[in-house]
Structure 1
Amino acid sequence: MEGLEQWKDQLEQLKSQLEPWKNQLEKCLHEAIEYLNQIPPVQLYAAIAVLLISTALLLSIRLFKRAKSNTIILTGLSGSGKTVLFYQLRDGSVHQGTITSMEPNESTIVLNSDSNKKRKSKPVHIVDIPGHSRLRPKLDEFLPRAAGIVFVVDSLEFLPNCRLASEYLYDILTKASVVKKKIPVLICCNKNDKVTAHTKEFIRKQMEKEIDKLRASRSAITAADISNDFTLGVPEEPFTFSQCRNKVTVAESSGLTGEVGQVEQFIWECVKP
């Protein structure tokens, strides 16, 4: 009983100590209500609207950052070595021979270079799009969620395929889904382990020249027949990849020998937290 009485006394003391705070809180609340009553309704509603919009915008930005894409697309002409590169990125091992794909290959991986460099790793969803012209429409299925595009070029047999590769790259660089999102593109000059392979600088310059010709020929297409969403480059100036709205870089690789460090660095830059 004595303990119960002590608890009651302590509660009474606490109540008396909180009484001034209660009075102060009621006073502040009363003043706040009085202040709000003095504000014209139009201004009050406008302030509330601004607050709600700002809150919604901040939440949207946070959700967008949280939902940043981790999808990387491998594409290019048939025979450029996309699928070998895909397996090298996925397994970190060499796959001998020619591998032809008729359906997209997909896999979620952690880059080998992430563990080697002890940097923060993030799962990457790699999609290998078949290079056959009839299967290229599958590219459009994955572009909306792409964080980056690796356009693979056969640097060994580049010259015979220069025009076709440039046309395909032109179509990618002028797609609305690529331009509006400013999706980074890496021109990956594959098979550079061969002695007769062309350098990345040679390939870059030749593709710029070819795309410059394509710009001129396609500018004559009537509005009703335009298949591309955006134009490339600066009018009356020779085309260079630096004129693109999205970042376009060039690198060398060899899927067979495992020289994919530049490709992995590009992928990491696209998906890094």
Structure 2
Amino acid sequence: MDASRFLFVAGSLVAAILFLAILVFFTRQKSKSRGSSLLLVGPPDGGKTAILSTLVYNQTLPTHTSLQTNASVVAVPALKKSLTVVDIPGHPRIRNQVDEHIGDAKAIAFVVDASTVSRNGAVVAEHLHTILNALTSLPPSQALPALLILAHKSDLVKSGTAASATSESLAINRVKTILERELEKRRISQSGGVAVEGLGEEGERTEMGGLECTGEKGVFNFDTWEGGEVVFLGTSVKVGSGEAEKVDEDGLLSLRQWMEENV
């Protein structure tokens, strides 16, 4: 091969490498910029629809268990922007509709009724497990939506001691502790080759991923979850209370602040 032919081949190879590098760069940039909605997910009767109506109308309207997806545009005045909030029903038969929206999600807020999670922690954890699995199953080229866990109805959580902790912090601690315990049970069951039960009426059994952690012995812990950071917020609303005199009186101040900082 003469020198001119060698230089031509080498130049073509370098050009191809540069083209691929540029293509990968813009593909990653596009994937990181994707996501323009906040998905509200979680078991039925957790308060998702009440949160949506409060964000949209600044007042909490009476609601009932939703059987269809609702979506509304929520203004973020501080940024002069808006965010589409999608309320996805929690019924076991239709909650997989999250898969239809997750590609356009900027964040997923998993809503937990903090006042009842002590009684139905296993059911709530099963639902959350499906969300964790969906997130970690996304293509590597797609930026993961942020994950919020809302310890909702925090105003109903009371301390059994004289401690001065706020109801929001009590609700967060309760929800986090119970969900970590129940998700660890599911991880152990699956690692031992025993499938865990789903919530379907037919009692289907399934194995899912999404519980991998970097901590010691792989014990499930939100702080070491391989899917990324998990943000916990304490929230509440007062149904039928009419329009709040101030936006920060509706119990969603921490959620609104998160939206202002992350939209």
TM-score interval (norm. to shorter): 0.7 to 0.9
TM-aligned CA distance change 1:201 to 1:99, over 3 Å = same
SS in 1 for 2:217: coil
Aligned counterpart, 2:212: 232
Work out whether 1:211 is the aligned partner of 2:178. Answer: no
SS in 1 for 2:65: coil
Shift of 1:74: 0.3
Residues of 2 paired with 1:186 and 1:264: CA distance? Answer: 12
Q: Specify every segment of 5 or more residues in structure 2 that has no aligned partner in the other structure, as ranges.
A: 159-166, 196-204, 239-248
Does the 8 Å contact 1:183/1:247 carry over to 2? no
Q: 2:251 aligns with which of 251, 259, 270?
A: 259
Does the 8 Å contact 1:84/1:99 carry over to 2? no
Residues of 2 paired with 1:80 and 1:132: CA distance? Answer: 11
Does the 8 Å contact 1:150/1:187 carry over to 2? yes
Does the 8 Å contact 1:148/1:267 carry over to 2? no
Aligned counterpart, 1:192: 154
Residues of 2 paired with 1:249 and 1:75: CA distance? Answer: 15
Partner amino acid, structure 1, of 2:155: D
Residues of 1 paired with 2:138 and 2:30: CA distance? Answer: 21
Q: What's the C-alpha RMSD, in Å, of the aligned pairs?
A: 2.7
Partner amino acid, structure 1, of 2:173: E
Q: Specify every segment of 5 or more residues in structure 1 that has no aligned partner in the other structure, as ranges.
A: 1-36
Aligned counterpart, 1:92: 58
Partner amino acid, structure 2, of 1:210: E
Q: Given the two structures, how large is their TM-score scaled by the length of structure 2?
A: 0.75
Shift of 1:62: 4.9
Residues of 2 paired with 1:63 and 1:231: CA distance? Answer: 28
SS in 2 for 1:40: helix
Does the 8 Å contact 1:148/1:270 carry over to 2? no
Q: 2:23 aligns with which of 53, 56, 60?
A: 56
Larger Rg: 1
Shift of 1:145: 2.0
Residues of 1 paired with 2:49 and 2:58: CA distance? Answer: 13
Does the 8 Å contact 2:183/2:211 carry over to 1? no
Partner amino acid, structure 1, of 2:112: V
Does the 8 Å contact 1:74/1:152 carry over to 2? yes
SS in 1 for 2:233: strand
Does the 8 Å contact 2:211/2:225 carry over to 1? no
**Aligned pairs (5 A) from 1:46-125:** 46-64=13-31, 67-95=33-61, 97-111=62-76, 115=77, 118=78, 120-125=79-84
Aligned counterpart, 2:246: none
